[in-house]
């Protein structure tokens, strides 16, 4: 007899952190009454804590699947969408066709213009939970369901150097280099001495074998970005991320045409419908899909689109408890052209206690490489510590 979805529940999780994301508060930055900071460098809102939305799907036969999406800002918006829109539609449905369900849920709101935003974040969480459920039911990792695992280990690059001064940031990168990491990405928006000085100091301090990437945080006009990236090129920049505003597709394409390093982008994009015009304009050389925004079904479609257009995929990693990160490793492991996966040390390591393996091996990132979990579904599930923190 077919199993059916009995219950879909969204939980908000809040995890304190020592240093705010993107480093200590800078001059002119303060925490508002809702607990958010506006970062002056990129004019973007961040919480002082780590926060996430964890989604649980239970079936009538007692199986459980876990998903997760962004909860860093307005997590109650996602919970409301799940409670009011998605859960009632999903209850009673056979959960065994995640991609079909994903398409059906997308259709529910498309004529109202919900092609992205919190609605798609909510869909990502549902999609991950459905794939997890299917993998657990069949006793195989999600990567097996997706066509098979090509990479058992995935190289991770160190993302963000959350220290107050350039000297401290270099020392921080050198610590990670000593642990075996080869790639380092700095955030140009918090490079107080300028991106060029940051790049030069990192190259000098990390040596010729390191790969150095710059996240430009959507901050520049196309001509500004071209001038800046050209100044970084002699120091062998590996890629330039998010040079211009995400809406400025022509501008980003112009940057891509005029610089000698690949433009990387995509963390803010949720569907192939958003990726297609950028790929069509040849605006990117490296795609950075974010599992917490795409879910597994759409992540794979983006991966296929990149593959068909000779674009390497280097998935984004962000603030979460580890469930969508595990999903990202599962889906990434099936991609052919995958040079690296982002590694957010300040999130991945402290939050690893929030998940546990569903098999014999937990996910980890040591000496520069992620090792994938070997258990069914995501390969990880909430630990007792996470279950206790769900609200």
Number of residues in the chain: 391
Binding part of the chain for Mg ion, among 3-11, 214-222, 369-377, 378-386 by CB under 5 A, reads 214-222
Considering the complex, what minimum distance in angstroms separates the CB of residue 219 from Mg ion? 11
- Sequence-ordered alpha helix ranges (H) in the chain: 75-81, 87-90, 98-110, 117-138, 142-145, 166-178, 195-206, 222-232, 249-258, 272-280, 291-308, 323-332, 345-351, 384-389
Considering the complex, what minimum distance in angstroms separates the CB of residue 347 from Mg ion? 13
Specify the DSSP class assigned to residue 127.
Answer: H
Instruction: Tell me which residue has its CB nearest to Mg ion.
Output: 215
Considering the complex, what minimum distance in angstroms separates the CB of residue 79 from Mg ion? 26
Nearer to Mg ion, 248 or 381 (CB): 248
Nearer to Mg ion, 241 or 381 (CB): 241
Give me 347's structure tokens: 């999130």
Binding part of the chain for Mg ion, among 37-45, 59-67, 130-138, 215-223 by CB under 5 A, reads 215-223
Nearer to Mg ion, 68 or 215 (CB): 215
Considering the complex, what minimum distance in angstroms separates the CB of residue 263 from Mg ion? 12
Contact between 290 and Mg ion (CB under 5 A)? no
Binders of Mg ion in range 41-60 (CB under 5 A): none
Contact between 215 and Mg ion (CB under 5 A)? yes
The rounded distance, in Å, linking the Cα atoms of 124 and 325 is 12
The closest of 248, 281, 246, 250 to 266, measured between CA atoms, is 246
Considering the complex, what minimum distance in angstroms separates the CB of residue 218 from Mg ion? 9
The rounded distance, in Å, linking the Cα atoms of 246 and 37 is 21
Nearer to Mg ion, 50 or 215 (CB): 215
Nearer to Mg ion, 269 or 296 (CB): 269
Contact between 342 and Mg ion (CB under 5 A)? no
Neighbours of 174 (CB within 10 A): 16
- Sequence-ordered alpha helix ranges (H) in 117-165: 117-138, 142-145
Considering the complex, what minimum distance in angstroms separates the CB of residue 142 from Mg ion? 25
Strands 211-215 and 44-47: unpaired
Binding part of the chain for Mg ion, among 19-27, 69-77, 203-211, 213-221 by CB under 5 A, reads 213-221
3-class state of residue 120 by DSSP: helix
Considering the complex, what minimum distance in angstroms separates the CB of residue 159 from Mg ion? 8
Residues that bind Mg ion (CB under 5 A): 215
């Amino acid at each position: 007899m077919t199993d059916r979805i009995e219950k879909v529940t969204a939980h908000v999780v809040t995890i304190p952190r020592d240093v705010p994301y993107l480093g200590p508060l800078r001059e002119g930055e303060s925490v508002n009454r809702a607990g958010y900071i506006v970062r002056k460098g990129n004019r973007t809102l961040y919480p002082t804590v780590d926060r996430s939305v964890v989604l649980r799907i239970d079936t009538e036969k007692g199986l459980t699947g876990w998903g997760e999406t962004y909860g860093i800002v307005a997590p109650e918006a996602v919970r409301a969408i799940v409670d009011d829109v998605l859960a009632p539609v999903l209850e009673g449905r056979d959960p065994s066709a995640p991609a079909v369900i994903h398409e059906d849920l997308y259709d529910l709101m498309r004529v109202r213009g919900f092609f992205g935003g919190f609605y798609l974040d909510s869909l990502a969480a549902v999609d991950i939970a459905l794939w997890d459920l299917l993998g657990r039911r069949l006793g195989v990792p999600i990567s097996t369901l997706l066509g098979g695992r090509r990479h058992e280990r995935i190289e991770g690059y160190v993302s963000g150097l959350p220290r107050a001064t350039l000297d401290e940031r270099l020392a921080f990168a050198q610590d990670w280099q000593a642990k075996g990491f080869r790639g380092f990405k700095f955030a140009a928006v918090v490079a107080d001495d300028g991106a060029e000085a940051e790049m030069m100091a990192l190259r000098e301090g990390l040596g010729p074998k390191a790969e150095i990437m710059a996240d430009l945080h959507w901050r520049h006009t196309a001509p500004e970005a071209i001038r800046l990236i050209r100044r970084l090129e002699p120091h062998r920049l590996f890629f330039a991320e998010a040079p211009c505003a995400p809406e400025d597709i022509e501008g980003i394409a112009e940057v891509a045409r005029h610089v000698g390093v690949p433009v990387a982008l995509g963390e803010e994009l949720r569907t192939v419908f958003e990726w297609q015009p950028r790929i069509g304009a040849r605006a990117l050389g490296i795609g950075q899909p974010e599992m917490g925004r795409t879910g597994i079904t759409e992540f794979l479609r983006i991966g296929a689109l990149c593959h068909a257009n000779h674009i390497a995929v280097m998935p984004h990693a962000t603030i979460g408890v580890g469930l969508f990160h595990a999903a990202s490793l599962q889906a990434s492991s099936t991609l052919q052209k995958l040079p690296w996966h982002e590694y957010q040390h300040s999130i991945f390591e402290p939050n690893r206690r929030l998940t546990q393996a569903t098999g014999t091996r937990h996910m980890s990132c040591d000496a520069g490489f992620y090792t994938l979990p070997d258990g069914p579904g995501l390969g990880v599930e909430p630990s007792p510590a996470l279950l206790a923190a769900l609200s």
